Structures are given as C-alpha cells and as structure tokens.
Amino acid sequence: MSKQWQVPIVYIVIHMGLMFFNYPSNVIASTRSTHWLPILIGYLLHVAALFVYLKGMSYFGNENIVMFLMKKSKLLARVTLLPLLLSLSIIIILLVRSNAEVISIVFLSNTPLWILIALMLLIPAYMVLQGGLNGLLRTGLVLSILFVPPIIFVLAAAFQNIDPHYALPLWSRDSDASAFLGRSSYYDSLFSFAGCFLFLGFVPSFASLKPKAIYLASVVLLPLYLLSVYVPIMTLGEDTALQLEFPFFFTIDTIEIDWLMFDRITMFLLLSLLSFVMLYSALILWQMVYIIRTAIIEIRTGIILPVIVALVLVVCLCIPDWKVIERYFTVNAPLWGYVSVATPIIVFLTGRRHVKRMERKIP
C-alpha cells in the first residue's frame, strides 16, 4: 500500500484516539467563551514543536533519533531518552487504566476490570510482537480504512441537534479571554496535542518520513479539535457541557437516527477510537522497547516486552479509581510538558551542530 501515507495517517489516527476523551472537558473547563482561542494556541504550539522536531530530524538523514543521539554521545542520548521513557511508561499506564474504565462504564459493566486492563495491554503487545514499527504502520493504515468511516459518519450525524448561537460570541472584549492560560485544566488539555508526535522521531530508518505530508496531516487535525469542543457546546450549551465528564460522548448519545438498528451510535465512535488507542498503546510499547534495546541494554523483544506488560498491568491494578487517574494525569503533566518541549529542542540543536561540523570539515 502507498507507503508515503502510512506515517501521516497513523499520526492523524492516534491523535483522533486521544482528542475526544478528556480534551473537550479540559478546554471547556479552562475558559468561559472564545473556546477557539485555547484550541488554536494549543494547536500552534503543537505545530511549532513539530516544526522544530522535524527540522532537527532532517539534519539526521536516514537515522532515527535514538540511533543518532547514541552515535553523537551516549550521555546526551540517555539524558534525553530516559525522561521520555519514564513519561511514556506513565502515559501507557494512564491510557490503559483510563480506557479500561471507559470500556467498563460503557460496554462491560459486569466484566472484572483487570480483564479489561489485560485486554487493552495484551492486544497492543501482540501488535508489537507481530510486526515491529513497519507492521504497526501498516496496521494503522488498515485500521484507519476500517474505523475512520464510522467516525466520519458519527461526526456528520453529530450536527443533528446543534444550535450555532451557543458558539457565540466568537470574540469577547473582556479581559477574561486569556484567563485560560492560568488554569491547570488548560495544561491538561495540551496532552492530547503533545501526546504522540514524538513517535515521528523513531520512524526514519524504518519507513520514509516526509515532513510536508506531516504538516498536511496536522492541518486535518485542527477542524477535528474544533469539532470535539464545539459540538458539545453547540448542542448542550456551555453551562451544561461544563458539568459533564465526557461532553462529546454525551452529545453523541443524544443523537437519534431513525433508520439505524442501533440505539446508541456512541458505540461506533467509541469502538473506533478505542482501536486507535490500542494502536497508540502499541506504538508506545514499541518505543519503550526500542529505547531500552538501543540505548540501555541489548535484550530480545520477546523478553523485555512481557516484562514491561507485566509491570504496567501491576501498576494499573494498583490504581483504584478515576480520581486517582486524574491526579496522576496532573502530576505527569510537567514531566510530559518538559519531554515534549525539550526533546525537539535537543534534537534540533544536536542536528544543527552535527551539520555545522560537517560543513566545517567539508568546506
């Protein structure tokens, strides 16, 4: 299949997997009006980080960041990659635990939670074992063919009950417009922007990475982010949306389609998104295995992967409820913020120094 589209599609799809869960409620909680402003600023930050990251990687040629940094300096590589590894492991724990909770609430209230956690972990682990990064990229492509149409259908149906007046005013003159910058929920919302773009650094040397296609893909994301926030607001109004844990899913639950045999089209959306979450979990697991194998200790995937999965499973089981997950999210935010800002910058600086030195050598 067309190889140049694998990476951009996986990039879009894993962002989709994150953006509909916590993002709408965080943004709605962070500001009272002009919701597009926090979304746009978050998006621009994302594009800026992406630009620095991709620019830095373009200096590397056909090597991924782990290989390149290890070649430059082992210390630098470990200083850069260890925080990444740590935050990846926290993210996968939170991701698996929170999604198991969501599945338990929506679909399987009678099934013990540990089985759901195991399911959300074992399938990504199997995906990693099956094909490595190339296999994951191909899986992403097939999953997008299977599961993007239902999402588009649901998004199209989501406009059923909207009232555009709720989105107004688009610009308010009061000083409150930038108040979201002071709220912690806004910084939580940034996670869905920062969550996954770092995997791009691992792609070169496995598959071709065209920066242009990635920028193009990031353009596709902006309307999706706007939709994820504005659909609940326009359907329920800002005050009601603020009360809900998952405003987007609640909005979708209100949709009524006469000719469909299903009562809740939320099912389609949620299942599709969960498949993307599984893909994202698999990517995280693969990144962790790759970092460990390349930068820390040479060990077979078949040994290290079960160890990681078992550890994550145990930690997941220790998290008692949703409140704790949210607290961990907030605790993890500074670390993740540091990783997603520092990694691109380190990559950029190392890459530029490398190129400058090469230029000096070959005048």
Partner 1 sequence: MWQFYCLWTKKNVSVDVLNEKRSIVYRIRLGSVGILTNEIKYEEDTGNLKRGTDMTLANKMQLEFSRDQDYISRRLLVGDDVIVLLGLRSLIDFPHTISMLRLQLIAEDISEHPFQVKLAGLGHALSETQIDEVIAEVQNGMLVAIHDASGTCVSIFPVPQTLSRAIESPFSENSVRGSSSAFNEDLQTNIGLLRKHLNASDLQTASFTFGTTVKHRLILTYLSGSISSVLLASITNALESHLTQDVSNLQELSKALGINGFTFITHYNTTDLPQNAAGALKKGKAVIFLDRFPFAIVLPGLASDAFMTEDDLNFPYLYMVLLRCLRLVGILITLIFPGLYVALVSVNPDVLRFELAHSIAKSRLDVPYPAVVETLLLLLVLELLLEAIIRLPSSTGPTVTMVGGIILGQAAVSAKLVSNLLIIILAAVTIASATIVGFQNSLSLRLAKYLLLFLSAFFGVMGLMSGLVVICSYLAGKKTLGVPYLQLKKPEGE
Residues lying near partner 1 in the complex (CB under 8 A) are found at 1, 3, 103, 107-108, 111, 116, 119, 123, 126-127, 129-131, 134-136, 138-139, 141-143, 146, 206-207, 260-264, 267, 271-272, 274-275, 278-279, 282
Tokens of 165: 């007046």
Longest dimension (CA), the chain: 71
Q: Is the CB of 28 or the CB of 278 nearer to partner 1?
A: 278
Q: Which is nearer to partner 1, 239 or 263 (CB)?
A: 263
By beta-carbon proximity to partner 1, the closer residue of 118 and 158 is 118
**Of 43, 4, 5, the residue nearest 225 (C-alpha):** 43
**Which of 90/117 has CB closer to partner 1?**
117
Distance CA 229, CA 232 (A): 6
Quote the CA–CA distance of 47 and 44 in Å, as a whole number.
Answer: 5
Task: State the nearest-atom distance from the C-beta of 115 to partner 1, in Å.
Answer: 8
Between residues 136 and 217, which has the closer beta carbon with respect to partner 1? 136
Which residue number, 230 or 250, has a Cβ lying nearer to partner 1?
250
Of 254, 266, 215, 328, whose CA–CA distance to 20 is shortest? Answer: 266
Total residues found in the chain within this entry: 363
Minimum CB distance to partner 1 smaller for 76 or for 129: 129
CA distance 39 to 249: 19
Q: How far is the CB of 267 from partner 1 (least distance, A)?
A: 5
| Sequence-ordered list of residues with C-beta below 8 angstroms from that of 22, at least 6 positions apart, any chain | 188, 189, 191, 192, 329
- DSSP code for 199: G
Query: In the bound complex, what is the minimum distance in angstroms from residue 138's beta carbon to partner 1?
Result: 4
**CB neighbours of 135 closer than 8 A, spacing ≥ 6?**
127
**Counting Cβ atoms within 10 Å, is residue 258 exposed (0-12), middle (13-18) or buried (19+)?**
exposed
- Nearest approach in angstroms of CB 223 to partner 1 is 25
Burial code of 192-224, b = ≥16 C-beta within 10 A, e = fewer?
bbbbbbbbbbbbbbbbebeeebbeebbeebbee
Quickly tell me which residue has 């990694």 as its tokens. Answer: 343
Minimum Å gap between C-beta 97 and partner 1 is 16
- Taking the complex as a whole, the smallest distance from the CB of residue 6 to partner 1 amounts, in Å, to 10
Minimum CB–partner distance for residue 273 and partner 1 (Å): 10
Residues 6+ apart with CB under 8 A from 336: 87, 90, 91, 191, 194, 195
CB of 1 to partner 1, least distance (A): 5
Q: How far is the CB of 119 from partner 1 (least distance, A)?
A: 6
Comparing CB distances to partner 1, the nearer of 84 and 95 is 95
Considering beta carbons, is residue 51 or 206 the nearer one to partner 1? 206
